[in-house]
Structure 1
Amino acid sequence: MTQTIIGVFHTFQDAELAQTRLEAKGIARSDMRVHANDERSTMSTDTTVDDPVVRPAGEVHEGAMARIEHFFKNLFGDSERPEEIGHYQEAVRRGGALLSVDAVNESETERVRDALYAAGAIDIDSRVAQWRNTGYTGYDRNAPDYTADQIAEERKAFPVVQESLEIGKRSVQTGGVRVYSRLTETPVSESVSLREEHANIERRPVDRPATAADLREGFVEIKETAEEAVVAKTARVVEEVVVGKEASSRTETVTDTVRGTQVDVERTPGSRDASVDVPSTKKTTPE
């Protein structure tokens, strides 16, 4: 069974662009229609595929909205239509555009729905919630189209900004160690005992008769000796200084402040000009 999927877009050009994108994805152009009021020039346009109608600005609103009424009547018949249909008509009244696509089966329905959102279709429920904050209670066919200034005012955007904190790492030089090897001289003092031998000559007075042994020649040699200190040096390695690096890790908590903007919506009371009469035939659909 054929199903009709409707996407809401900000402008007629957005809906046309979405139509082109869907056609590139295999959706037949004959299965798509664009409904809109193009009020950006002196002419307004109510467009359906292969049947563009351009009328003077003074005549277009009634014709365009009547064609949209007829479009929804064909979909739902003469029975009471859901309230949501009025929301789609209200979107057109506020300068938006509708793109309707006929899908022949459930698989194509899902493909079309995804394609519409990918092309920038508006979430109508969210948009209606915004309208209700400004007093919207339902579509009123007697209400005039939005002017270009009203459209621009309603679509004024306030960016919501949120900073994020990104923590990175970098290597910095925190110092270092230089190791030098140099020759040192340290005075030392050691005590050593040295032995010496000296010749000792002693003369003693003697009074005795001389013998033949006493009258011969001879000699005796005595050598004197002495010890002296001998210095010898030996070098031994008593310590090693090993130079290297070791890594360690630590956890540091970074505390900072991120900035952002918050958009608050405040509803202000309306005012009614006492000189303007409200027709008694005007009906408003309850919220």
Structure 2
Amino acid sequence: MSQVLVGVFDSFEQADQALEQLTRTGIARSNMEVHAQNRTSAVPEEDLRIEQPGEHTEESASYKIGHFFGKLFGGGEQPAEVGHYQEAVRRGGAVLTVTVVDEAQMIAVRSALHEAGAVDIEERVSQWKNSGYEEYDPSAAQYSADETAVERQSFAVVRESLEVGKREVQTGGVRVYSRATETPVSEAVTLREEHAAIERHPVDRIATAEDLKAASVEVRETAEHAVVAKTAHVVEEVIVGKEASERTEIINETLKGTEVEVERVEGAPTGLPGDQAASLPVTRP
């Protein structure tokens, strides 16, 4: 069962770009129509009637929108949105209608219209009502380019944001060297020596046979000498590494921005019967 999706755009160029994008995705041009005033389109002439300012004939864009939905609803009562679409065209916008044949195509087209910049018609109607709009009036004059520009004038609301990051910087460090050293030392040592001792004592006695035997005795002398040996001992270790600590720093900055205030200005009475003061809405984006 076929369905119709409607995209409302602020300009004909946006609607035309959306149409071209949908054409590249496989949507037949015969299933799409663009309704706008005072523009031309790549859509075949029989598929698009460009409405001239102030024109409300049966061939105008606003009329064709109503006629299109009239056929769609079989001549029955049309929803209020149809008048809103006609009002969007009157105010210089454009309406793109797309006939889809299945659910998958409907999802793809809806996404494409959103990405192309289609506006929320309910939100837009809410803005219009702030300036007195109630419903579409076929007898109302088309908006001029200047009127359209004034209605869509916007004021940016600016907010600065604070982003605090971190970066690592070199704050110094330590360098450790290992080098050989020489230290003079003195150490006392006791050395022992042994020497032969000869003692002679005068005696006077009769010699015996034992005394007459030949004999010899050898006595060796000894002396201790100092022997030096060195052994290296590890007496301390120096460990080189890093340890981390954290601190909290308060960043004080001033953020700049803008505020937009909306003030309603009453129109000056003209004094002519039947005249009505009109005001254009100024909206905050």
* TM-score of the pair, normalised by structure 2: 0.67
After superposition, the C-alpha distances for 1:85-108 in whole angstroms (9 at most, x for unaligned) are 222222212211000011223333
CA contact (8 A) 1:18 1:119 kept: yes
Aligned CA distance change for structure 1 residues 111 and 250 (closer, same or farther; 3 Å): same
User: 1:48 deviation in Å?
Assistant: 6.7
CA contact (8 A) 1:34 1:99 kept: yes
After superposition, the C-alpha distances for 1:207-265 in whole angstroms (9 at most, x for unaligned) are xxxxxxxxxxxxxxxxxxxx99958462432424345434x555555654584646545
Moved more, 99-108 or 140-149: 140-149
Letter in 2 for 1:131: W
1:183 aligns with 2:178: no
In 2, Cα distance between equivalents of 1:275 and 1:192 = 133
The sequence identity of aligned pairs, in percent, is 35
In 1, Cα distance between equivalents of 2:64 and 2:148 = 22
Aligned CA distance change for structure 1 residues 129 and 86 (closer, same or farther; 3 Å): same
Residue in 2 that maps onto 1:75: 72
Aligned CA distance change for structure 1 residues 58 and 144 (closer, same or farther; 3 Å): closer
Match of 1:81, SS? coil
Match of 1:176, SS? coil
Structure 1: state its 5+ residue gaps: 39-43, 198-226, 281-287
Aligned CA distance change for structure 1 residues 31 and 54 (closer, same or farther; 3 Å): closer
User: 1:166 deviation in Å?
Assistant: 5.8
1:245 aligns with 2:241: yes
Letter in 2 for 1:14: Q
In 2, Cα distance between equivalents of 1:130 and 1:85 = 17
In 2, Cα distance between equivalents of 1:70 and 1:244 = 87
Residue in 1 that maps onto 2:30: 30
1:114 aligns with 2:111: yes
User: 1:12 deviation in Å?
Assistant: 0.8
In 1, Cα distance between equivalents of 2:263 and 2:82 = 26
Letter in 2 for 1:94: R
Match of 2:95, SS? strand
Residue in 2 that maps onto 1:174: 172
After superposition, where does 1:60-71 map in structure 2 within 5 Å? 60=55, 63-71=60-68
In 1, Cα distance between equivalents of 2:50 and 2:85 = 22
1:278 aligns with 2:274: yes
In 1, Cα distance between equivalents of 2:53 and 2:234 = 109
Letter in 2 for 1:27: I
User: 1:186 deviation in Å?
Assistant: 5.5
CA contact (8 A) 1:4 1:100 kept: yes
1:2 aligns with 2:35: no
Aligned CA distance change for structure 1 residues 106 and 54 (closer, same or farther; 3 Å): closer
User: 1:173 deviation in Å?
Assistant: 5.0
Residue in 1 that maps onto 2:265: 269
In 1, Cα distance between equivalents of 2:53 and 2:85 = 23
Match of 1:122, SS? coil
Letter in 2 for 1:13: E
* TM-score of the pair, normalised by structure 1: 0.67
Match of 1:87, SS? helix
